Each structure stands twice: as C-alpha cells, then as structure tokens.
Amino acid sequence: MLSYRHAFHVGNHADVLKHLVLIQLLDHQLKKDKPYWYVDTHAGAGRYALDSTEANRNAEYVDGIGRLLAAAEMPAAIREYVELIRSYNRREAVRFYPGSPAIALSRMRADDRMRLFELHPTDARFLRRAFATETNRVKIEQAEGFGALRSILPPPSRRAVVLIDPPYEIRDDYRVVVETVKDALQRFSGGTYAVWYPRIQKTEAKQLPERLGKLGAASWLHVWFDVRKPAPGGLGMHGSGLYVINPPWTLPSILKDVMPTLVQLLAQDDSARFGLDHHIP
C-alpha cells in the first residue's frame, strides 16, 4: 500500500520523541573518529513545510514541536533538538521541519555515509530533490526498505545507526519488522537499530516491543510516551514508542531527565505518561 505520507503528521508528538532519541544515537557515533552509516528504511520526503496543505490538514505539529518552540525552560537534550529545528529556518517563525534524514545529515562528517530507502514515488522524488547536492555521502533508492536493508548489511565501516520507521499501514508490517530486525542482527550484530512504533489499540502494536525483546539482543532500551487516553472507539494514535537495540550507555539517564518534561509540555489530557526500560551491560 502506498497511501501513507508523513507530510500529514510531520512535527507531531511522535516525531518529537523519535527525533530527540535519534539525535542522541547519532551524536554517540561522533565520539569515535571512525566513520559510520546512517540507514533509513522508510525515509519519507526528507524535509517538510509546516505551512503546506498536507501538514495543515490536521495540524498535528501544533501539539508537537509547536509546544516545544513556545516553552521557556527545558532540559538540555530537548533544547538541543529545538535549536536544531530552528536552525532549518532563517527567520524567527518556524516554517520548515527536517525529517529524520535531514536531522541525520546535520550529524554527518565528510567520511560518514547515508543510505535512504523510500517506496512512495512522490516522496522518493522529494527526497532526491532535498539531497541533490549530497551525492557523495547520500545514496537514495526508491525501494521497499525492509528488503533493501538486507542488501547493505554489514556496512563497510562496521558502524551504523539504522532507523526502522514504517507506516504500519497493514498488520503484516509488525511481523515484517521483527523478521527484519532478526535478519539484520544475524548479518550485523553490532549495529544500533531503532524501531519506532505507534501506540494504538491493536494487538500487534501492543505486542511488538515484547516480540523484539525475544530476539535476544544483549543490550536494549524501550521508551514509550502517551500524550492522551486511548479513544473510546480504539481509533487513532495516543502515543508512540521506540525500541533501540545496542543503545548508547548514556541514553537511559538522558531519557530519565527529559521524559517528565515531554509529558508536562505535550500532554493532551491527564492520562499522559511515559515508560522506560533498558538492559545495557
């Protein structure tokens, strides 16, 4: 299916959590001189305009990045994320939001590399346009990211951050995510894998973190964040989560510091909450 486009959801609470964590994963790679790869299995359009028709259909960014832009006090990791978003805008008003690939590019050095996969033809075209001047460091393929990931692991550098962020349009995506991560660990056990998933009233979504945990990775972190109570009819996304395999050892303490603030700033009702579990030997 090709109906999903992230432009309709850009900058929402799920993007906030995902990109805040992504920055921490990438910055950890910069602590070593050895180059790394950033791989995005479902890269989207790369960059987004908050004043577009798509972004304003539901204006989800208003209750996401919009609230953080208006906040006065916040922990350092959130402030760093907000400042990065502002850096993509020349004026005080924030009109553009960088997607995961653009955020990753801000953390890349001359010898680091990026591999982006996007199946939707419109977004793949936008993605190529967004990175037209980065042909040396960035390679883009219009391809289904699950299968494409297998073809590039392990990367030559033996260091990588892999973001697996599918739209979950169909229930089978949950099964394929688990199979993809299992295969990736067999090919490249040392990579850092970040799996984003929606918190919705579906059994497959609820079971995904547990199924990823059964893959047996020695080092992992699971963080989730609800902004509101689930809808009575079970429709809609009330939160999101990230399951990270081989996370930086510093990540748990950073999230313990920032998650209470995210709950405070992004809560849409009094059911907002977060959870954080990890095992990092």
Q: Which run of H or of E encompasses 51?
A: none
Measured CA to CA, the distance from residue 232 to residue 212 in angstroms comes to: 28
Q: pLDDT tens digits for 264-278?
A: 999 999 999 999 999
Q: Provide the β-strand partners of residue 49.
A: 96
Query: 């959130």: which residue's tokens?
Result: 78
pLDDT 10s digits, 29-76:
999 999 999 999 999 999 999 999 888 888 999 999 999 999 999 999
pLDDT in tens, 149-182: 999 999 999 999 999 999 998 889 999 999 999 9
Residue 2 has pLDDT above 70, yes or no: no
CA-closest candidate to residue 164, choices 118, 125, 195: 195
The average pLDDT across 188-214 equals 97
pLDDT value for 55: 87
Burial of residue 190 (number of CB atoms within 10 Å: 0-12, 13-18, 19+): exposed
Catalytic residue set: 165
pLDDT digits (tens, 9 = 90+) for 202-261: 999 999 999 999 999 999 999 999 999 998 877 789 999 999 999 999 999 999 999 999
Question: What pLDDT score does 3 carry?
Answer: 59
- The SS3 assignment for 46 reads coil
Does 20 score more than 70 pLDDT?
A: yes
- Residue pair 224/275 in contact (Cβ under 8 Å)? The answer is yes
Q: Cβ distance 160 to 192 under 8 Å?
A: yes
CB 238 within 8 A of CB 227: yes
Q: What domains lie within the chain, and their CATH numbers? A: 6-279 (3.40.50.150)
The tens digit of pLDDT for each residue in 77-136 reads 999 999 999 999 977 788 999 999 999 999 999 999 999 999 999 999 999 999 999 999
Give DSSP secondary structure letters for 24-64.
HHHHHHTTSSS--EEEESS-TTSEEETTSTTHHHH-GGGGT
Q: Which residue's entry shows tokens 């850096």? A: 87
